[in-house]
Chain A
Amino acid sequence: MRLYDGKVVLVTGGTMGIGLATALAFGRHGAQTVITHRWGSADENEVIEQFVRAEAPEPLIVEADILRSEDTTKLFATIRQQYGRLDALISNASAAVTVQSLDDLTERAFLRSMRATAWPTVEYTLAAKRELGAYPKYVIVMSSDGPDRFTPAYDFVACGKAAVETLAKYLAYRLRGEGVCVNVVRSRAIKTDAFTSTFGAEFHGFLRQFVPEEWFMSAAEVGDAAFALCSGMFDAMTGQVLMVDRGNTFADGISLIFEGQR
């Protein structure tokens, strides 16, 4: 008997990177996972193969754009028909306009970024109640250290993450009577496709001058932490932001480089 046998977990943006690693972590513990993606971007067979290798139940892969509320309704209707329940929501997918200079700071880009980064967590949580009759016991939001520390091109992403972290704290309050735990997992410097496409391939080589390859985090570490928060061991934790970085953020600065030069 595995901890998540018979339970259902939804991971948005779950066909690659951190989302996929998180879905696999739940799958290894028996969960039926529902993973979403946009545009048919995923090679479904390759994704399913990874679940087979992890001895996880085959995931249900659904195309759902976080920007389209009709997709959300359809997705939850599918979950209702197929499984009739949702035990954990992992709100991972987000999108934001990247910013290279002040010229990129436009109101339209800002509002679109907020919608696509901060709103889906709320929309999906409410949709679970509306379509399935109950909130998931666990809501996990994937975030980053962008709201606190400079990250290239990240202006609007960081705003969206700051907003969703704040909304997570308020959701934790509003859902306190329902036994729901709402927490945020922050991560950084994981070599996923999203990392390369946001920061460019050069950034990795630049960082390697100062830090060993092991410094980079794996998506699996983040997935395991998200699973742990939904395992029952952290049921007294809600409204919190958990950094999953092995302490990297603390040491990230010119002081570390100076020390290395000596």
Chain B
Amino acid sequence: MGTLVDARNIRGVYYLGGKDLVAVDDVSVRIEEGEVLGLAGESGSGKTTLGSIISLIARPPLHVEQGTLEIDGKVQELGGDAKIPRTWRGAVVSMLPQGAMNSLSPTKRVRHLVYDVLRSHDRKITKDEALDRARERITTLGLPARVLDAYPHQLSGGMKQRTVTIISTLLNPRLLVADEPTSALDVTSQKILIEMLLEMLDKKIMSGVIFVTHDLPVLRTVASKIAVMYEGRIVERGPTEVMVDHPQHPYTQALMSSVLAPEPKYTRTRIEGMSSFDRKLFNAPEVIHR
């Protein structure tokens, strides 16, 4: 399997009236064909910012100062005033933003959005063609076709999230960037969504996923590799098992040790939160597991 996406030296800065906030500081990530890369970190670590830069939707106050994105051998400059071709957004890289399921218009049926999305990329498509394409996709992925005719309030949270996930990939993008797609769901819906994402990869609807979340147990289930971000940088990256069972960087260790799961070792031992760790240690150099 070859490399699908190679994003290099990305620097994203928020210009906040005289003050500059560097949210992503010279970060490079690479995703292989067919892979789910988990991007983990806490609030403010820059994981969402990195995701939005890679999915080409950075807009003021966020400015990309430098960086390149290479997909299928085509190189796109991201920094400064680089012109990003319209056709890349949605069709080459697609973004499933945080809380996407709440962005369905409450007064419109789901099929309205489907037509809107497809028409904005293909002026000639008819309503019927658009709906046929969506219906086929929805049924292959195990959702009832009636969701197309439903209003958002008629669908459960899990259904809505699966529906927007399908709509975001209708154009068969090479890469899907999913930002906290499971965070508002209950555990059963989370599991179903993860299964669906993996099936979509299997069916080559998209060829790679960047899964942005703070939820490490979810990444354990879905990601083949994990990169941990802290203060705008990736501090450690590697295969999921290594990252979870043998983290080397002090920050990753602190993060992993503060996860609570229903396992016997958590009922009787007291776990100390991150304040007991020395934050200075978190600036240790990046650890890369091969």
Do A and B come together as binding partners? no
